[in-house]
A and B are shown apart, each in its own frame.
Chain A
């Protein structure tokens, strides 16, 4: 076949389709040999194999197909390499969390708190007794605190973005306000999470006049300080890409500006907005430091975000690892921590799926 194709003036010489696989295989073998010369380790092997793959691939393609194709292949092989590189941490995190989290996952973990669980019970569990105690209170805390934070951040963020995209151009005062708001949102994006936590505590200590004020809602305030700029930024971008023609079409039908925004502009951008909100939630649901300084840490279940301390999954994981319930048998606590980490990942995944669903419902419809 290759002989037949070279006779055509339009078709140059072509490298076979299985070439990347062959080069990859050769790179693995050569990499193993090279790393064995220095002293074999998996890391070194991967580095050598990767380097050989990215260099040898383009060289071979360049010899077979010419230098332009060679350069193209260089970029392509770099992308293959970067893709594999990016996959490594992702897969390994999921692999490790699944491997260590699944054994600890039980009805007990999902359904009970740490109330009354002490070093003694953990020691008994380590000797083959039943394992008591779980992360139920932490799941409740995470859901409540994130719920309140989302409830505050999404309307504020959405309305701010609507102001910035739809109204800030309409007169001089608004233009000036728009610029100030954009600047402040940019500044807010860079606030370290612990600072947000301390701000929220300081605010409530001032407002309530109680220096020991700690409860879930303060944590929600801290988290919404982190969430709002993300929601504003993302929503603004999404509203900006809604074509102006749709706004004009709506105005031309005698529809008021506000109704145009709520019925035409926002629904058209809804899929992007919902995925941005999910990203913002995913960003704050794993926060640890601001929760510790605002909501404290308890072992018992607390549904009320407005009084009493609360635990979230990240703080629970942190304490289970750093201060095992039974210092002599930390294994039991570590199992709980890994299982909780798995729950946290699953929570974020459920959120993602929910956002996809919302996006799908609102997405501009296609098809005939």
Chain B
């Protein structure tokens, strides 16, 4: 269920603008990898290239390779839709479908693809997904109520349940807790810890304590200045990044001194 990702010399463009320059890194399966770095350094942009969401933006493209267990996502003829069903994504702001109930939101990945699913299987899938997202006990009595009626933290966990329900190999999370209060954040972090038993998890975060708490490996991205491309500065086990970083920039950033 869990796959490794090998990125080779990846360059990410928005039209003519080079946003992220020459990234090479290996993301381990059954582990949590955190991306940290200042705003605008390309962490989210890079994250979106890992499930080909980057090219949804008009004019955006990449050069280089992203191998998912050895298969290049950007090889000729690869269907981005298939990639996305294997590499799920959770966004910064919770975005449950407003026209659907909680149950339908969880089943969205199945139903929107009009795959037939027996009612009992659907019930099972809803329960198992919501249980893995630590949301089942809170919503089991109101599965037919709209998903937008939940609190922000519950909505975000609903979105995670929705991603899990399509059984991906990798889950990408783009600042999943930035819109949540500390209690909901804790719930999501616990969840991330459980998810890594089965999935490859990649998380972008601005919160360094969060990166330290949840991740096994951490990648630090930085940008030389406005208009310059973002680069991967240092990639190492989280302990090392926070305790004895090799690069000066990393040390400045994680200790709160920069510039």
Where the two chains meet, the residues of A that have a C-beta atom closer than 8 Å to any C-beta of B are 169-170, 243, 245-256, 259-260, 263-264, 267-268, 270, 362-368
- Tell me if B56 and A253 are in contact (CB < 8 A): no
Question: How many cross-chain pairs have Cβ atoms below 8 Å apart between A and B?
Answer: 96
Can you pick out 15 interface pairs between chain A and chain B where the beta carbons lie within 8 Å of each other? A249-B162, A250-B112, A252-B89, A252-B91, A253-B85, A254-B166, A263-B112, A267-B99, A268-B98, A268-B99, A364-B148, A365-B99, A365-B146, A365-B148, A365-B149
The interface residues of chain A, by DSSP majority, are classed as helix
The reply on B84 being an interface residue by CB < 8 A is: yes
Q: Ordered nearest first, which 10 A-B pairs have the shortest CB separation?
A: A254-B85, A365-B146, A364-B98, A253-B109, A252-B89, A368-B149, A245-B95, A255-B112, A254-B84, A169-B58
Residue of A nearest to B52 (CB): A251
Q: What is the interface of chain B mostly: helix, strand, loop, or mixed?
A: mixed
CB contact between B113 and one of A246, A254, A267, A270 (< 8 Å): that residue = A254
Q: Is B140 close to A, CB under 8 A?
A: no
B81-122 interface with A by 8 A CB criterion: 81-82, 84-86, 88-89, 91, 93, 95, 97-101, 108-109, 111-114
Do the beta carbons of A253 and B91 come within 8 Å of each other? no
* Residue ID in chain B nearest A247 by CB atoms: B56
- Among B88, B98, B163, B166, chain A packs the most CB atoms within 10 A around the CB of B98
Most buried by A among B84, B91, B95, B99: B99
Q: Given the complex of chains A and B, what is the CA–CA distance between A170 and B114 in angstroms? A: 25
> Considering residues B101, B113, B162, which has the most beta carbons from chain A within 10 angstroms of its beta carbon?
B113
List residues of B (33-89) whose CB comes within 8 Å of A's CBs: 51, 53, 56, 58, 81-82, 84-86, 88-89
Whether A365 pairs with B84 at a CB distance below 8 angstroms is: no
Bound CA–CA A232/B85 (angstroms): 33
- Decide: A249 and B91 in contact? CB cutoff 8 A: yes
Whether the Cβ atoms of A367 and B162 lie closer than 8 Å is no
By the criterion CB–CB under 8 Å, are B149 and A254 in contact? no
B112 touches A264 (CB 8 A): yes
Task: Report the bound CA distance from A251 to B111 in whole Å.
Answer: 13
Which chain B positions have C-beta within 8 A of A270? Answer: 99
Specify the chain B residue showing the minimal Cβ separation from A267.
B99
For B98, the chain A residues whose CB sits under 8 A away are 246, 268, 364-365
Residues of A within 8 A of B95 (CB): 243, 245-246, 248-249
The answer to whether A255 touches B109, judged by C-beta atoms less than 8 angstroms apart, is yes
- Which residue on B lies nearest to A365, using beta carbons? B146
A251 CA / B85 CA spacing, docked (Å): 9
Cross-chain contact B149 with A366 (CB below 8 angstroms): yes
Chain A nearest CB from B258 CB (Å) reads 31
- From known contacts A170-B58, A252-B84, A253-B84, infer whether A364 and B93 are also in contact, taking CB-CB under 8 Å: no
Q: In whole angstroms, how far apart are the Cα atoms of A171 and B195 in the complex?
A: 39
Residues of B within 8 A of A252 (CB): 51, 53, 84, 88-89, 91, 163
CA of A270 to CA of B97, assembled, Å: 14
Question: Which chain A residue has the least Cβ–Cβ distance from B92?
Answer: A245
Cα distance A264–B159 in the bound complex, in angstroms: 15
The closest CB in chain B to the CB of A249 belongs to: B95
Minimal beta-carbon separation of B125 from chain A (angstroms): 13
> Given the complex, which residues of A lie within 8 Å of B97, measured CB to CB?
246, 249-250, 264, 268
